[in-house]
Amino acid sequence: MALSPCASTVRATIISMVLSGLMLYDEALAQSDASAGRPVSYALVAAMGQSFSFVAEKRVVGSHMAPYDRSNIDMPEDGLNRLVLHNLDELVGASAPDSKRIFLSIPTPGVNLVAPADREQAAIEAVIKALQDYPERAAWDKIVVVTPAYRSQSKNNMASMLGGLGIFIQPMCRSTLTDLKCDTPADLPGGPATVLTPDGKKIASTTFQAPFSYLCIWILDPKTLAVISKEKVFDEQKLNDLTANPLSPVQSMDKQFTAKVMTNLINSSIHKAIRRSGLTAKVEVREVKVPEIQE
């Protein structure tokens, strides 16, 4: 059966989870001046919007509608943009420690009003329009923009029509004529998905919650605002806590574990996209710290 946790509790839990994963930093300290010569200047731009997606699968009988409950949870304190900027600054700072980084958080309130297939283009157009009013961009060397990426089709046991940052919950067990299959050891064919537990174990499960980070990184020319490159990365990590309360899969999951996974996914997505874009001559790609999977 489908399990629908209380909406208000889900909202409070997810906001707490994301903000607990947000590492605050001082923008001024992130900028450094080279001892000799003019430092390379990067404008780091986040345009993720204010909404954290919450999508849960539900049981639907006799309907052609997609079997999902969807909601957008508004994050306070510009949380999503700050979280993305922090991870972007870490990567660019590691590969170009003498660079100067300028941080911009650009609102994109109209993006969610257009069709999902058009939202990536709507987001970058909103960013370009906002940057036209920055005459100081003539002194920048590169503009790096992070916006949500969108995937229309269902893939890898995830819901269709996902984008940006969020959590997908699959709370329904799969039944057979003789048994109800939910969580089984990884070596048994009891579930369609391989999920990670807080203690680093791998199990097969038909129920899980999956933080996802679907990001698009754009490199713009500061003078013309032309798009130099565009890279999309779709990352997700399915989780299950066998000690959690199955009647409330969001509330009872270890929040610190989920927040850590969410932060690592964003970091991983940005690393992959920056590496593919060729933004810097050298990029030090570090291992993402997730719990070790025990075979």
Q: What is the pLDDT of residues 197-248, one digit of tens each?
A: 888 888 888 788 899 999 999 999 999 999 999 999 999 999 887 666 655 5
Taking alpha carbons only, the member of 148, 268, 253 closest to residue 195 is 253
Question: What's the full length of the chain, in residues?
Answer: 295
33 has a pLDDT exceeding 50 = no
Residues with Cβ within 8 Å of 135's Cβ and at least 6 positions away in sequence, in order, are none
Q: What are phi and psi of 220, to 5 degrees?
A: -115, 150
Please tell me the least confidently modeled range out of 52-61, 131-140, 212-221, 255-264: 52-61
Please tell me the least confidently modeled range out of 31-45, 137-151, 178-192: 178-192
C-alpha–C-alpha distance, residues 41 and 233, integer Å: 25
Q: How many CB atoms lie within 10 A of CB 110?
A: 13
Could you tell me which residue, 27 or 271, shows the higher pLDDT? Answer: 271
The pLDDT of residue 24 is: 37
237 CB-side CA count, 13 A:
24
Side chain identity, residue 143: I
Domain ranges of the chain: 7-174+209-238+256-277
Side chain identity, residue 218: W
Proportion of the chain above pLDDT 90, given as a percent: 26
287 has a pLDDT exceeding 60 = no
State pTM to two decimals: 0.76
Taking alpha carbons only, the member of 201, 196, 200, 185 closest to residue 239 is 196
2 has a pLDDT exceeding 70 = no
The pLDDT of residue 288 is: 38
The pLDDT of residue 290 is: 42
Which residues, listed in sequence order, are joined to residue 56 by a DSSP beta bridge? 69, 169
Side chain identity, residue 30: A
Three-state SS string over 127-139 comes to HHHHHCCCHHHHH
Task: State how beta strands 202-205 and 193-196 pair.
Answer: antiparallel
